[in-house]
Every structure is written in structure tokens, then in C-alpha cells.
A and B are shown apart, each in its own frame.
Chain A
Amino acid sequence: MHEVAIVGMGIAVPGASSPSDFWQLLNTGRPQFSEPSGNYRLESFWSGDPDAEDRTYVRVSGFVTGLRLHPRLATEIADGLFTRDDGEAIRLRHCLLQAGDSMTTRDSDRGCCVIGGTGLTSRRLDEAIVIEAAANKIAARLQVRSAADEPDEERLRYLLRDHFGHGDTPPTQLLPDQVVHAAVSGLLPGGCAVTVVDTACSSALYAIDLGARYLVAGDCEIAYCGGLSGVTPRYNIAFAKLGGLSRRGRLSVFDRNADGTLFSEAAAVVALKTLGRALEDGDPVLGVLAGFGASSDGRGRWVCAASPAGQSLCIERAQRAAGLDASQVDWIVAHGTGTAAGDAAELTALAETAPAAGRLCASNKPIVGHAGWSAGAVSVIHALLALRYGCIPAHHGFITEPPSSPVGTRVDVPVHSRPWRGKDGQPRTVGVSSFGFGGTNAHLLISEHVPRRAAAAAPGDPVVLVAWAAHLPGEPSRAEIEHMLATGVWTCPRTFGRYEPPPFDEIRLPARAARSTDPSQLMALHLAAMMIAEYGELWAPLRDTTGVIATLTGPAPLAVGNLLRCYAAELERAVTSEDAKALAAFLEDVRADNPPTSRDTLPGIMPNIMAARLANHYDLHGLTMLVDSGRTSGYTALDVAALYLATGELDMALVLTVNLAVPAGLARLAGAEPGTIAEGAFLLALTRSSVARRHGWRAHAEIPSCTREPAGPDRMETSFVAADAAISLLTTLHRNSS
């Protein structure tokens, strides 16, 4: 098995435009929170009353302002290659260029770019959705005027674009996979395969691990991995309804005063190569990936509550993968978000997994804020800088531990910076923790030089399909679905229409929460129940090593409805005079159709929770992840599942692909011909051939290795978009068997 080396890094966080800026910031410890000023109008989204409908109580966040651009990017912008519509892509490209500066590339190099990200934290995307949906729906309420006039929808779209300062960039370019494509374009001669990973706030660590697996599998020679995250008014509103943001506007971690987190704009990237290639090329080896541990919390708590047991499990798994015991890990860059519940859970896990001498840990969030989907990569760079400079910077803003906390006994927080030297000639090793909403935990160990233990993958043990379930509009029977698969003629309706929640036993959600939960999540739970009805609970003997890899196409309808609620004040500002009555009617409908933002909103609209719900319901402890590579997402999901199965991290992978129609008025965001798109949800259970034999499961089909691209031109008249991968796999199965 190849070791993987980190050969470059790049970062853009509030107050730092480069790794050396970031190091300075970590050492001076000045918090970087401010009001949004030029970014958005706080007054439209803020209220001092925490119960105010669709408002947040927090005024400050972390903003990347005055970024000192990488010189090549500065030239590209001057040449008009990127406009100010491309803010997110610019931030990410800046980091990619920095990460690439220190390494050698060859003309034959194939690249991959795996980035933790989500549309949910993109302010430009939120605004584009509001522009498109509002223009469409308000126009529909206006009287048709003379044919000579500009159509109302187009007029309103221009008006709103102007209001939000948007250029004429097509909104599809703001979707996460497109942002990453734009950011990475032209960086490697052979191009770069793009995967967006979403496990919420642990995304960037999962992205680094997945990129390393692509390298080791020989899929590419260079892997750019990291994360991209932003600050949006809506996310701050929804997180406030969970009580998760600091009312003081200050972020304290592991401290008695900790009262919530604060989110930040950020991007962070590391460049990876196999150690052999890095040494051959003479690249600087900033660190070696020593071991990765992933886990899901499983059953026991509410789907989004942090679980010490789940966190301990990923820390132990990482140490086992690295062949290290707890005492050989010198310190941990903790997730440390500053929420009372999150800190308490993390401290419990840190204490449980601490060596006899105690565990030293620190968080960078009091200074740069919670970098969300990029937080793991920010912490990895924190760790790499500490390795480089031989110093562990002080944990900022720590005054005194909370009552009955393990700080001071099992856990130690560095109040002052301290030198970091190896002991007894052992390589220095640091752990990095990231935990995502939904119980998606990750821990990555980075050392100076530790040989990776050979993985268990036995050659000749292919990945096979052992079970499938399909949930389609009109609820066709299994026999009918098999017939449709065999003939390729889809006779069921194309849409579910208004989706009724499945029975309580399938979803175990209070009705109020179910109303705020996107159909995709409810469908995931329904699919699992369907699969159990057909095959029994196959994963029951494998709960510890069963994971979920999911894809979802398009913005969730509930998320769009909630967004429009949150942007009501902005719309009222922008749309006035003769359109005001139509706007008022539109907003009235939006409010009638969508519940106010509540504690149920964020879990209900976060796409990665779709996978996490299965882990929570069925007590699964393998990794749960959402992947996005646009239309080919389903193939990416199959490929990622195969990678984790092949190396034995997972014994069963549930591949969940859901395609829902784009909400009305957002056709321009879909990037596909609306007439051909069909709604449907599919669940595939994959395992290794040897596991299937051991449990006496019939292997329906072998999954070809590397299925990232569709085999041929898309010939289907009916497209389930990202779920087409499942269709194509099942089609092969049923054509062969019939």
C-alpha cells in the first residue's frame, strides 16, 4: 500500500490570505469576526428577539475581505477570466494555486479535485435561487400587459439581479460542482476529475481521505483536496433557531463562557501525492497521512446531536489504521466549535480516548471561526504549520473550564504556546477531528513519517450488488419496476406530486419535524423499509461497518421555500410600486406553504442528513457521505462506495440516489431538459463478494471498478439525472436475467 504525502497547502480564512498569514494569526490570537457590511444587509435578517420569525440573533460572522490574491489569479482576473460573480470559485482557486506552487507536475499527470462543499452556504446561489423563484412567481401574479412590453418575469429578474448585484452569470454556474470545475480549470495539463463531498462540517476531512484513496487506487497522480464554505443569512437564521450561535458574538471553546459558534467564509486546500512520487519529484513533504477514521453516531440520540461514543469510535479507528496507540499521538486539533453541547460531547470523547498522561488539544475556531464545510482542511493546515514550525500555538480565549469538564484532568488545553519536539526518536504525530451535523465523524492522523499499514483489500474480491429498492411515483410494484427496467419504458408518473410522509414507524419523526423535512430524507427512510421488507435487514450483522453514500439532484423544494421566507425583507426592498401587490400575494403563499424557520429546518434541508438519517435509524457506524459531481453523481457514489469497500473500511455500502424535480420557477438552475426528468429514489446495497458468500447473500451483479463516467452516450428518454447510475446498473441486471 502506498503512503500518501501532503506536498502543498493553500488557505483563505478571515484575516489570512496564506498559510504564513494563518500561522501569524494563530500565534497572535486576534478573533476575526465582524458584521457583514458590504456582504449583505444585516437589518433584513437580524432581530434582537431570538424568537422573531425567520430572523437570526447573531450580528457577526467571519468574512474573507481584502484577500491578497495569488499572483496568477490576480492576472487572470485582470484578463477578465473571472468576474466578481465568481467569488467562491476565486477563493478556492486562490488556495489551489497556493497548494500547487511547491510541487512538480508532469504533462502526463492526471488530477482529481475532491472538495468538501455545499450549495447551502453559498450566498450567491441563495440569492440566485431567490431571484429566479421570485421573478417567476411574482410575474405569474401580474396582469398580462401589452405584448410590446418586456415580459414581466424577465423584467423582474433584471430588477432583482440588480438589487443583489448579480451579473449575467447563469445560475447553474453557482452550483457546487460547477464552482469547483471553474476553480480547478487549467491547473493541470490532463484536467481534473471533480467530486464534491458533503458530510456537513466534517466534509473537508472526508475529501482529503477520498482524494488519498483515488491516488492509492491509481486513479490519479495528484489530488487537490479540501473544502469551501460560506456565510449565508439563511444558515445563520436556521442555526440560531437551534440555539447554536453565540449571543455574545464571541467564540469560546472548551470554556465556561462558551455559548455558541460563529460561522466563517473560508477555503482551504492541500495537494497530495503518493510519498514515492513526492520524493521522486523532490517536493517538500509537509506531512504524511498516517491513518483515517470515519464513523457515524448510529442510533441512540437525535439525528443531529453530537455523540461522544461516535466520536471516540472514529478516533480509535484512525489510531488503529495508523498502527499507533493513543500515547503516540502528541496532540489533537479539536473540532471545538464553542457550542455548549458540542464542546461537552467532544471533551467526553477526548477524555475517553486520552492516553494515561492526558490529551493535549486546541481549536482554531475562537480566532477564525467555524469554517463549516472547509473546517477540516483549515485544521489540517493548522496541524501542518505546527509540524513545520515545531510549535503548538496557544488555544485562544480560554479562561476557565466548564463545571465537571475533563479539562485539567484527562484533557489539557494549551493556554500558552509550547514547543513541539519528537520524543524518543518517535515521529511527531497530530490528530485532526471534524464532526458533521448528522453524526458524521472524522479523525485524521498526520505524521512526519509513519508507514501506512497495508490495507485488507484482497485482490479478486469484487464489489457486488446484493439488494436494491426503488421508490417511484405511483408506487409501482417490484414486478412492475423490474418490467420497466427490462424494457426501458417508464410507465409510472414522472413526479410524486405533493409528497406524503411515510408511516411513523418508517421515519420515527414527530409530525411537526416531518413537515420541515425534505422529501428526499423521508424517501431514504422509506427505501430502507422497502429493502428490509424484500430482503430482511441485511446489514444487521454489519452495523459497525455499514455506511451510506448518497447523492441528491437539485435544490430541495423545502430549502427553497424556507429561503424565500428568509429573504422576504430583501424582496420587499427590491420589488416596489406596481409590483408590490403581487409580491405581497406571493409572500403570503410562501408563508402558507412553508413553516417558519425552526430548529427542525436545518436538519430538514441539509442534504447530507439524507444519509445520516439511515445511520441514525438503523444504528449504522460506518461513514455516511453525500457526493456531488453534477449529473454523474450517481456514478461517483458507486465508485466511492467501491473504494471504501475494497479497503475494508466498509463491509456494506448503501448507495442512495434521489432525484427530485427542480421546484417551479427554477428550471434555469436544473441544467437539464425539464420534460425528460423523472423523479425517483433508489437504494442499492453493495458489499464484497466474500462478505456476500459468508452471509449467504445472492450477488446480483458485479460493480465494475471505476464507474465515474457513464459508459456511453445518455440514451435514456427518461432521465433520473444523478439516479441514472442506479437505473443503468439495475437495467443491466434485469436485461441479463430476463
Chain B
Amino acid sequence: MANPVSIPTTVELIEDLRRIYADNAEIPLEKVTMDADLAADLGIDSLTQGELMILAFERYGISDKSSRIQPTSYPTISELADLIQRLLGEENGGKNS
């Protein structure tokens, strides 16, 4: 049986996501704080939010979930990190059963 996807720690995940968002949206890294609102504070439009979310999902091997999730429902890095941890948990749970 394949190894279950390892769930990163919250700190790792947030740092990773900050870097993905900063690099791809071209925003200074120090501005992409975990609680910055992606639209209101960083000026990222909803289409780009969707693309970045898919990028983040792909990084953690959960690309198949993206179509059912409304990106603007997760307006900060910290909420996205929670979402990804939850999805990874579900995926591991599914594989173990």
C-alpha cells in the first residue's frame, strides 16, 4: 500500500502557502501574512485566487477537490491552511479504511 500523504505541520504549511502566493501573485512576501485578506489587503482577484488555490492543492496532491470549493470562502492563508489540513486528513482517512 502507498504511503499515506504526510500532513505538514501548520507552521510549515503556512510558510509554504505564503511563498506560493507571494511568488505567483508577485507580492512582497512580508505582506502575505497568515491573516491578510487575499482580496481586500492584497488585491488578488477571485479568478487568481482560484488558480492559486489549485496550485496549492496540487502541491499537496489534492487537486481533485478543487472544483467543489469556492476559493473566496477561504479568504486568508490561515483559513486555506486549515482547509488543506482537513482535506489531507480526509484523504488519509479514506486510504486507511
Contact = CB atoms under 8 A, between A and B. Distances in A.
Interface of A: 242-243, 299-305, 341, 504-505, 507-513, 599-600
B25 interface: yes
B45 A302 contact: yes
Contacts of B25: 510, 512
Given A305-B39, A510-B42, 10 more contacts: A242-B47, A301-B72, A302-B39, A305-B45, A504-B28, A507-B43, A508-B41, A513-B43, A599-B47, A600-B45
A510 B39 contact: no
Given A512-B25, A599-B45, A504 B40 contact: no
B48 interface: yes
A716 B83 CA distance: 61
Nearest to B38: A302
Contact of B43 (A243, A341, A508): A508
B55 interface: no
15 contacts: A300-B37, A300-B40, A301-B39, A302-B39, A302-B44, A305-B45, A504-B28, A504-B31, A507-B43, A508-B41, A509-B43, A510-B27, A511-B27, A512-B25, A512-B26
Contacts of A299: 40
A302 B26 contact: no
A510 B29 CA distance: 11
Interface residues of B, number: 17
A511 B47 CA distance: 16
Contacts of A303: 43
Contacts of B47: 242-243, 599
Nearest to A616: B40
Contacts of A508: 40-43
Contacts of A599: 45, 47-48
8 closest pairs, A vs B, by CB?
A511-B26, A510-B25, A509-B43, A302-B45, A302-B39, A508-B43, A512-B26, A510-B26
A190 B29 CA distance: 61
A515 to B, nearest CB: 9
Contacts of B41: 508
B37 to A, nearest CB: 8
A50 to B, nearest CB: 12
A504 B72 CA distance: 22
Contacts of A243: 47
Nearest to A241: B47
Nearest to B47: A599
B38 to A, nearest CB: 9
A299 B37 CA distance: 10
Interface in B1-58: 25-28, 31, 37, 39-48
Q: Is the interface of B mostly helix, strand, loop or mixed?
A: loop
B27 A301 contact: no
B68 to A, nearest CB: 12
B27 A304 contact: no
Nearest to A515: B26
A243 B27 CA distance: 24
A639 B46 CA distance: 37
Contact of A504 (B27, B37, B48): B27
A304 B45 contact: yes
A15 B26 CA distance: 46
Contacts of B26: 510-512
A572 to B, nearest CB: 30
Contacts of B39: 300-302, 305
Nearest to A511: B26
B43 to A, nearest CB: 4
Nearest to B49: A302
B74 to A, nearest CB: 14
A299 B41 CA distance: 9
Interface string B58-83: 00000000000000100000000000
Contacts of B37: 300
Contacts of B44: 302, 510
Nearest to A503: B28
Choose among B31, B41, B44, B45 the residue with the greatest number of A CB atoms under 10 Å from its CB.
B45
A341 B31 contact: no
A279 B42 CA distance: 54
Choose among B43, B47, B48 the residue with the greatest number of A CB atoms under 10 Å from its CB.
B43
A299 B43 CA distance: 10
A253 B44 CA distance: 27
Contacts of B48: 510, 599
Contacts of A509: 43
Contacts of B72: 301
A302 B27 contact: no
B43 A305 contact: no
A85 to B, nearest CB: 38
B18 to A, nearest CB: 14
A497 to B, nearest CB: 23
A508 B40 CA distance: 8
A198 to B, nearest CB: 21
Contact of B40 (A301, A341, A507, A513): A301
Nearest to A512: B26
A304 B41 CA distance: 14
A509 B39 CA distance: 9
B26 to A, nearest CB: 4
Nearest to A243: B47
A600 B26 CA distance: 14
B69 to A, nearest CB: 15
A526 to B, nearest CB: 15
A341 B42 contact: no
Contacts of A504: 27-28, 31
Contacts of A507: 43
Contacts of A600: 45
A242 B26 CA distance: 19
